[in-house]
Amino acid sequence: MSKPAQSTPSSPQAPLDRSDVRMRHDDSIADMLRASLDKIRSGDLGMLPVVIGLIVISVVFSVLNPVFLLPNNLVNLLFDCATVGIISLGIVCVLLLGEIDLSVGSMSGLASAMIGVLWVNLGLPLPVALFAGLAAGACVGALYAVLYNRLGMPSFIATLSGLLALLGLQLYILGPTGSINLPFASVLVRFGQIYVMPGWLSHLLALVPGAVIVLRGLRTRAGRQAAGLSAPPLSALFLKAGLLTVGLEFAVFYLNIGRGVPWMFGLLIALVVLLDYALTRTQWGRSMFAVGGNREAARRAGINVRRVYMSAFMLCSTLAALGGMLSAARLASSSQQAGTGDVNLNAIAAAVIGGTSLFGGRGSAYSALLGIIVIQAISNGLTLLNLSSSLRYMITGAVLAIAVIVDSLARRSRVSHGRA
Amino acid sequence: MTQTQQAKPAKGETILRLSKICKNFGAVSALTDIDLDVRAGEVVALVGDNGAGKSTLIKVLAGVHQPSSGTIDFLGKPATLDSPGKALELGIATVFQDLALCENLDVVANLFLGHEMSPWALDEVAMEVRAWTLLRELAARIPSVRQPIASLSGGQRQTVAIARSLLLDPRIIMLDEPTAALGVAQTAEVLNLIERVRDRGLGVIIISHNMEDVRAVADRIVVLRLGRNNGVFTPDASNQELVAAITGATENSVSRRAERKAGHAQEQPGSPA
């Protein structure tokens, strides 16, 4: 036992969870590194593909066009990330259950059309229009859940028909003009195009994740030691928090050379953190993973499986509506094109590239954030190269295919290494 | 079969009494006039051929099926088991044959599935401590409770499933074929576990096709045949008697071999039905 001087108050023997001699325990930083290498080798890739992907993308595009890595281009990139990133966050929820929502693009288009019609054409107050959009999303999600729960309709088919129906509704409410401009001076459009955090605030916020990691880590540590369980070494905790803080501060510093950190991107981060907490630290999140892993087992454990599906579908469509309204703000218009094209697939691809499994039961809220940065970086880089959208579609398609291949290969490897 | 018993619920007290339970699926009567008593600190084995009604009976007790007629008394009071949740609430826990564990979650998450501590900010430390204490009490050999179920062996999974059913402090636990898929050592481990559960003063109902296992742990062996009671035996009953009661045939390979061994024709104890 290579444990640092740490003794449990009452018992002289090993901590409760260290009594089995068959387990190898990773206590030092070197041990932890080795453990995570083992994990990667067995197919538990985590964030690795994304990190590698981002490095490759930045190197390739900055060689082809140096503008790519300029601060202001990155700020633009983050503005673009926020809208589809929020949609992708909803996709993570349904993918965790092993289901899919193919209609998020149409849903976002419908919500953006609703903003235009209700707010600009009918003159309703902006909050009312926003609320109506979100409510429409929640209703559509609830409808999918009812079709799935009560009629046994596969989500693939239900949302595929939703894709067409919602697109039809979007075209119908936009009417013959087909496009509504949103006023440039409005808060919504300025939020989508201009508002950035003040420099000092963004630097302050960049300190928060590291601080939270340290504080929560210390509290868990104290709790575990008091309960007679082993606790991870302090050095690893501080190393992790330190590296994260340095990385974030540098990113913020670099973005502040340009326009600064967009508030809209801040909204995305806030939603990601919120969803991550809900998925990992609440009973609801635990039941999401349980239903995705083994639906029957979850049902027998007394989990209300139907309600879990209902919550996931509703959350997904509502987030899609929110993303759609923000993309209307980003473009300052509600048009027939909103939500069509690659929005749907980008949202799904982002979740998968970030490491959420298509087979259910594995994934995290952060996968949407990381995945969308990869996707938008590719699309931004290709736009800078003045490539036509035909090429852009082909390349994005290939990236999605690679992501899914990595997912299923990793899954196979996990099964053979007994990691599920 | 007597064993030293700590002062838990009085041993031998009848926890569950079924009388005249019938269950019909359309024209088929799966169970007819079944009587069954389960006492505290006792292992009751339910044996019978395929289609004898064992699983139907277990499902009635688990609240999955409702009986067509008959009464169920739990601790002396009439009870209706109209949903799985109701059965759990009363204190009847079931470990199904397919275990129903989530392979992507770790041992702690599986043990507490659906009953997590502090739902809005999961108390992982308290749950982990409770998991370790429970597994200690069962002398279970799980190397780490933070491993996903996928990395555990069949016997370890069975252990986790049994431990989970004990988490809610049930009065009775029902095990459907707990040793069916296990090797020799793992079977022994699970049988030990069943004895420890009995020693905690719980009533245990076990379904098994393996007469060796049944006789190793059971205090009473209840035979079902074609949906009816077909005799109650003690573990000392011979294989021959059991097989006769299960199959309803007094003439079979087991009895023939016994006859050959005995060297002379033998009068069989006829089945009561």
Crossing angle of helices B154-166 and B124-137, in 10° steps, is 110
Joined tokens for residue A126: 């902006």
pLDDT (tens digit per residue) in B18-69: 999 999 998 888 999 999 999 999 999 999 888 888 888 998 998 888 899 9
Average pLDDT rounded to a whole number, residues A63-76: 93
Find the residue in B nearest to A21 (Cα).
Answer: B143
Instruction: Judge whether A32 lies within some domain.
Output: no
- Between CA A156 and CA A143 the distance in angstroms is 14
Short-list A256, A266, A271, CA closest to A203: A256
Question: Across the strands, what pairs with B16?
Answer: B38, B74
pLDDT of residue A11: 43
Distance, in angstroms, between A3 CA and closest chain B CA? 18
- End-to-end, the C-alpha distance of chain A in Å comes to 29
CB A316 within 8 A of CB A104: yes
Joined tokens for residue B229: 């009671």
**How much of chain A, in percent, has pLDDT values that exceed 90?**
64
Identify the residue with better confidence: A148 or A31: A148
CB A238 within 8 A of CB A214: yes
Instruction: Enumerate residues 20 to 49 of chain A having a beta carbon within 8 A of any beta carbon in chain B.
Output: 20, 22-23
Q: Is 60 exceeded by the pLDDT of residue A69?
A: yes
Mean pLDDT of the residues in chain B = 84
Nearest to B128 among A17, A23, A419 (CB): A17
Judged by a CB distance cut-off of 8 A, whether residue B273 touches chain A is: no
Instruction: Judge whether A247 lies within some domain.
Output: no
Residue A354's pLDDT band (cuts 50, 70, 90): confident
Q: Give the global pTM.
A: 0.86
**How much of chain B, in percent, has pLDDT values that exceed 70?**
92
- Between CA A248 and CA A261 the distance in angstroms is 12
Edge-to-edge strand ranges of the sheet holding B69-74 = B28-39, B14-25, B69-74, B77-78
pLDDT of residue A21: 66
- Between CA A353 and CA A95 the distance in angstroms is 12
CB B39 within 8 A of CB B45: no
Q: Is 70 exceeded by the pLDDT of residue A419?
A: no
Question: Across the strands, what pairs with B45?
Answer: B206, B221
Domain span including residue A305 = 46-195+262-416
Q: Is 70 exceeded by the pLDDT of residue A7?
A: no
Residue B6's pLDDT band (cuts 50, 70, 90): very low
pLDDT of residue B9: 55
A415/B100 Cβ within 8 A: no
Cα–Cα distances (Å) from A175 to A131, A206, A336, in that order, read 22, 45, 9
Distance, in angstroms, between B105 CA and closest chain A CA? 7
Judged by a CB distance cut-off of 8 A, whether residue B153 touches chain A is: no
For residue A100, the domain's CATH number is 1.10.3470
Judged by a CB distance cut-off of 8 A, whether residue B28 touches chain A is: no
pLDDT (tens digit per residue) in A259-272: 999 999 999 999 99
3-state class of B22 per DSSP?
strand
Set out the domains of chain B in order of their start, with CATH numbers. 14-237 (3.40.50.300), 244-273 (no CATH)
pLDDT of residue A418: 67
- Partners of residue A294 in chain B, C-beta under 8 Å: 100-104
Judged by a CB distance cut-off of 8 A, whether residue B134 touches chain A is: no
| Opening angle at CA B61, ends B172 and B246, nearest 5 | 95
Question: Across the strands, what pairs with B34?
Answer: B21
Identify the residue with better confidence: A83 or B98: A83
- The position carrying tokens 């190898």 is A24
Joined tokens for residue B40: 């505290």
Judged by a CB distance cut-off of 8 A, whether residue A415 touches chain B is: yes
Instruction: Judge whether A393 lies within some domain.
Output: yes
Identify the residue with better confidence: B5 or A217: A217
Instruction: Judge whether A235 lies within some domain.
Output: no
Mutant choice from B89, B94, B95, B113 vs A, greatest count of A C-beta within 10 A: B113
Instruction: Judge whether A238 lies within some domain.
Output: no
Distance, in angstroms, between A134 CA and closest chain B CA? 25
Q: Residue length, chain B?
A: 273
Q: Is 60 exceeded by the pLDDT of residue A124?
A: yes
Least confident range from B13-17, B44-48, B241-245: namely: B241-245
Please state the domain count of chain A.
Answer: 1
**How much of chain A, in percent, has pLDDT values that exceed 70?**
94
pLDDT (tens digit per residue) in B176-214: 988 887 878 878 888 988 998 899 889 999 998 888 888
Least confident range from A48-57, A134-143, B221-230: namely: A48-57
Distance, in angstroms, between A154 CA and closest chain B CA? 22
A297/B102 Cβ within 8 A: yes
Short-list B127, B128, B139, CA closest to B197: B139
A17/B100 Cβ within 8 A: no
- Partners of residue A224 in chain B, C-beta under 8 Å: 125
Instruction: Judge whether A252 lies within some domain.
Output: no
3-state class of B223 per DSSP?
strand
Mean pLDDT of the residues in chain A = 89
- Partners of residue B128 in chain A, C-beta under 8 Å: 17, 227, 229
Q: Is 90 exceeded by the pLDDT of residue A393?
A: no
Nearest to A283 among B122, B128, B145 (CB): B122
pLDDT of residue B3: 38
pLDDT of residue A181: 93
Judged by a CB distance cut-off of 8 A, whether residue B132 touches chain A is: yes
The verdict on ipTM greater than 0.90 is no
Least confident range from A37-46, A185-194, A213-222: namely: A37-46
Crossing angle of helices A71-96 and A104-115, in 10° steps, is 120
Distance, in angstroms, between B175 CA and closest chain A CA? 15
- End-to-end, the C-alpha distance of chain B in Å comes to 27
**How much of chain B, in percent, has pLDDT values that exceed 90?**
30
- Partners of residue B103 in chain A, C-beta under 8 Å: 293-294, 420
